[in-house]
Amino acid sequence: MRRLGQVLLIILISFSHVISGEKDRSDIPDEQRPVEERERGDSVPETLGKVPGALVSFPLKLLFTGARKTARVLDDNGVVLRVTDWLTSADGKRKVRPIFTPLSGGGLAFKQNDLLKPGLRLRASASIGVRTRRDFFIGLRDEALFHPRLGFEASAFHTRKPDEDFFGIGNNSSEANETNYLHRENNVRLGVVSRIGRRSLFSMLATYSDVRIGEGRDRDKPSLDSLFTSQTVPGFFGADVFSTGASFYRDTKDTNGHPTRGGEEFIAFEVGYERGGSEFGYHKATADFSRYFNLFYKRVLALRVRAEVTNSIGDRRIPFFRMSELGGQELLRGYRPVRFRDRDMALAGAEYRWQVQHFAIAYLFVEEGRVFSDLIDEFSLKGFRYSYGGGLRLIGKDRNLITIIEWAKSREQLRFIFRLNVGVKKL
């Protein structure tokens, strides 16, 4: 009651001069008096009313006074322009951007188009994170090196993920079996690419991967070998894998950032063998389709289905790090990364997107997915896991994605995800 009284009192104070001014309408209101007859600026109650706001905002203003002065110095000396000019070419062919994902950490991404010759594209990124997490990538592509429709692609990739989670294999792998391991991979890829029309790309690539599995750096979780063995988890120590494959990608989206129509289709087939051994051999087929429907002015329904089928070759086994995965940033977002693994997987998702500002896209999504030991023979709608959530995507002037701020919920957890300038490894 006392607080209510105080609030009423404050309101009364603020209105008091208005009320009192209306008692005798024959008087010219105080604020209409000639300016030199008045005190400088506001009347006393008006000035006092500003005190609470000023008190609260004072520390903020003090904090940002430094930022303001710094901004002025930077602006006056053209520092931002100079750095931007150094990192980004005026024609947009060269660009450096900061990147961040929870999995890879933070770093920089660099792109250079028309390197040495028109059509030759260079992409590179480097990021580091906690517990010696690191991620380096460099790639070159020229889609018309040999012929207007035939080019090449080459890339190298190094990653060190010191605290990957592993829960076992299968759709029913339990959270209680959570273990931790180190994944280190060096990967070299070379192949030919062929542009079919303006929107489609066919590629044939050969990849050599050197994967090493070790003890995880997250001391709070048991290590992989405390619960699993090389018998239950193929590829327990890692492997050198040589694979070849072909893929077809078609992009009919009308724009990046916030597509409103069209879609993306990706089909790939890969065959992999262990180099210098006969334990591992597999082939994997992947199909991923997404489609965008403009419901009404830039309110978009995005649908996606993805399926992967991995089979062993002869009596060889499939290393666990080449199996299908669910969970994480792209697949079943409400679950932690690679929460489920098995030979095959299926995923379907729907996302409703709407533009809240010209640079901000809000979205809500729901996804269903599960892993299978054999998708074809054992397919059932039972056992599918779902996740749902929403977020905000911020897009840049070039319509590319800058930032994703997302929350995703599953039966196991609520995840908050922040990513900055994702998708830089796309050649």
Partner 1 sequence: MHKVLRFFLFCVVAASLSGCSGAKKLTLAPIKTFDPDNGNIPAPDDKEENQIWDIMDMTFFYQVEKVLDLNWSARKVGKGLGLARGKPADNVNALDEVPNSSWYTNRHYHDRMSRAELRRGPNTSPGPDQSGAWTITAGKFEGGTTGFTIKDGRGDRYLLKFDPPGFQEMGSSAEVISTKILHACGYFVPQNSVVYFDPELLQIGETAKVAEGGFKRKMTPADLEALLEPIPRRADGKMRTMASKFVNGKPVGVWNYIGMRSDDPNDLVYHQHRRELRGLRTISSWLSDEDRRAANTLAVYTTDPETGHKYIQHYLIDMGSTLGSNNIIPHAPKYGNEYLIDPRTVGLQFLTLGFWVKPWEFETGHLNPEFSSVGYYESRIFDPDDWYPTYPNPAFEYATLRDVFWGAKIVMAFSDEDIRSIVAEAQLTDPRAEAYLIKTLIERRDKIGRYWFSKMNPLDKFDFARQGTILKLTFRDLAVDSDLEKEEGVRYIHTTSYRAGGVHRQSVSGKPEVVISENGTGFLDDLIAARGSKKERDKIFSTSIQVERPGRALSKKVDVFFYYPGFSGEPRVVGVVREE
Which residues between 33 and 72 bind partner 1 (CB under 8 A)?
33-38, 40-46, 48-50, 52-54, 56-57, 60-61, 64, 67-68, 71-72
Asked if 93 is part of the footprint of partner 1 (rule: CB under 8 A), the reply reads no
Return the range that interacts with partner 1 (CB under 8 A); candidates 4-12, 138-146, 305-313, 402-410.
4-12
- What residues numbered 202-231 form the site for partner 1, per CB under 8 A? none
Residue 17 or 212: the one with the smaller Cβ distance to partner 1 is 17
Residue 122 Cβ, how far from partner 1 at the closest point, in Å? 22
> Which of 23, 15, 39 shows the shortest CA–CA distance to 31?
39
Contacts of 100 (CB under 8 A, 6+ apart): 106, 107, 127, 418, 419, 420, 421
DSSP strand pairing (299-312 vs 281-296) = antiparallel
Continuous H helices in 177-303: 224-227
- What residues numbered 404-423 form the site for partner 1, per CB under 8 A? none
Output the six-digit token pair for 169: 């294999």
275, 208 Cβ separation under 8 angstroms: yes
Nearest 5°: CA angle at 162, between 274 and 275? Answer: 10
Asked if 196 is part of the footprint of partner 1 (rule: CB under 8 A), the reply reads no
Instruction: Give the burial string for 370-382 (b: 16+ CB within 10 Å, else e).
Output: bbbeebeeeeeee
How many other C-beta atoms lie within 10 A of the C-beta of residue 35? 7
Residue 80 or 414: the one with the smaller Cβ distance to partner 1 is 80
Residue 158 Cβ, how far from partner 1 at the closest point, in Å? 33
Asked if 26 is part of the footprint of partner 1 (rule: CB under 8 A), the reply reads yes
Q: Which of 80, 116, 301, 414 binds partner 1 (CB under 8 A)?
A: 80
Residue 104 Cβ, how far from partner 1 at the closest point, in Å? 29
Residue 84 or 230: the one with the smaller Cβ distance to partner 1 is 84
Asked if 352 is part of the footprint of partner 1 (rule: CB under 8 A), the reply reads yes
- Report the distance separating Cα 403 and Cα 395, nearest Å: 7
> Which of 227, 235, 223, 296 shows the shortest CA–CA distance to 260?
296
- Report the distance separating Cα 155 and Cα 137, nearest Å: 7
Residue 73 or 130: the one with the smaller Cβ distance to partner 1 is 73
Asked if 32 is part of the footprint of partner 1 (rule: CB under 8 A), the reply reads yes
Contact mark string toward partner 1, 354..373, x via CB under 8 A: xxxxx-x-x-x---------
How many other C-beta atoms lie within 10 A of the C-beta of residue 300? 21
Q: Which of 4, 66, 75, 418 binds partner 1 (CB under 8 A)?
A: 75
Residue 43 Cβ, how far from partner 1 at the closest point, in Å? 4
Asked if 30 is part of the footprint of partner 1 (rule: CB under 8 A), the reply reads yes
Residue 414 Cβ, how far from partner 1 at the closest point, in Å? 19
Contact mark string toward partner 1, 299..338, x via CB under 8 A: x---------------------------------------
Q: Residues touching partner 1: how many (CB under 8 A)?
A: 73
> Which of 181, 180, 246, 173 shows the shortest CA–CA distance to 211?
181
Residue 334 Cβ, how far from partner 1 at the closest point, in Å? 20
Return the range that interacts with partner 1 (CB under 8 A); candidates 20-28, 96-104, 171-179, 188-196.
20-28
Return the range that interacts with partner 1 (CB under 8 A); candidates 19-27, 154-162, 305-313, 400-408.
19-27
Residue 361 Cβ, how far from partner 1 at the closest point, in Å? 10
- Report the distance separating Cα 388 and Cα 404, nearest Å: 16
- What residues numbered 282-301 form the site for partner 1, per CB under 8 A? 296-299
> Which of 336, 331, 324, 306 shows the shortest CA–CA distance to 412?
336
SS3 364: strand
- Report the distance separating Cα 410 and Cα 390, nearest Å: 12
Return the range that interacts with partner 1 (CB under 8 A); candidates 21-29, 215-223, 224-232, 406-414.
21-29
Our measurement of the distance from residue 172's CA atom to the centroid of its chain's CA atoms, rounded to an integer in Å, reads: 27
Residue 2 or 198: the one with the smaller Cβ distance to partner 1 is 2
Residue 1 or 376: the one with the smaller Cβ distance to partner 1 is 1
Residue 51 Cβ, how far from partner 1 at the closest point, in Å? 8
Asked if 255 is part of the footprint of partner 1 (rule: CB under 8 A), the reply reads no
> What would you report as the CA-atom Rg of the chain, rounded to the nearest whole angstrom?
29
Q: Residue 328 — left, alpha, or beta (φ > 0 → left; ψ -120 to 50 → alpha)?
A: left
In the DSSP assignment, the letter for residue 328 is: S
